[in-house]
C-alpha cells in the first residue's frame, strides 16, 4: 500500500507545550511576590503617620543598617546614587521619592540620602515608616 503525500495528516502535539507553560506559570507565581518585596529593612514605628495613596510607582531608596544604599533593589554608592537621581529627574521630574531606612541606621546617612534626592531636583521626598503596635519596638 502506497499513500500519497496528501493522505498524511500532520498534527501538532501540544502536550509538551502545555507542560512547559505550566512550569513557567508555577515559577512566575513563586517569584512574583519576591520581586515586589524589595530589600529587607526594619522600618521605624510611629503612632500617627499619614497614609499616602500613590497613583504611580515612586522611586524607592532603601538604606540598610550597614549603610548600603539601594534604588529599587539595585545597589549604589552615595555618589553614584546622586548621579542616577539627577538622570532620573531629567526623565520624570514630578516623580515621588520614598526613603526606606532601617530604624537603626545612623541619622546622618539618612540625611545624606534625603539631601541627594533634593539636590537632584525632586520635590516630593518622603520617609517610609511602619505602623506602631503596642509591645513592638
pLDDT of residue 50: 66
d(CA 137, CA 135): 7
Q: Are 126 and 52 in contact (CB under 8 A)?
A: yes
Reported as a single tens digit per residue, the pLDDT across 52-78 is: 676 788 889 999 989 899 998 789 999
Does residue 76 sit in helix, strand or coil? strand
Q: How confident is the model at residue 16 (pLDDT cuts 50, 70, 90)?
A: confident
Name the helix (H) or strand (E) containing 118: helix 107-120
Give the residue-averaged pLDDT of 2-17: 70
Answer yes or no: pTM beyond 0.85: no
Amino acid at each position: 500500500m502506497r499513500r500519497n503525500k496528501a493522505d498524511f495528516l500532520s498534527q501538532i502535539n501540544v502536550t509538551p507545550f502545555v507542560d512547559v507553560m505550566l512550569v513557567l506559570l508555577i515559577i512566575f507565581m513563586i517569584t512574583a511576590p519576591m520581586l515586589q518585596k524589595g530589600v529587607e529593612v526594619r522600618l521605624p514605628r510611629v503612632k500617627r503617620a499619614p497614609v499616602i495613596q500613590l497613583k504611580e510607582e515612586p522611586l524607592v531608596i532603601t538604606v540598610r543598617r550597614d549603610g548600603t544604599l539601594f534604588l529599587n533593589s539595585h545597589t549604589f554608592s552615595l555618589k553614584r546614587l546622586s548621579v542616577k537621581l539627577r538622570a532620573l529627574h531629567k526623565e520624570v521630574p514630578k516623580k515621588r521619592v520614598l526613603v526606606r531606612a532601617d530604624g537603626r541606621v545612623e541619622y546622618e546617612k539618612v540625611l545624606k540620602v534625603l539631601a541627594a534626592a533634593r539636590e537632584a531636583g525632586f520635590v516630593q521626598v518622603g520617609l517610609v515608616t511602619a505602623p506602631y503596635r503596642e509591645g513592638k519596638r
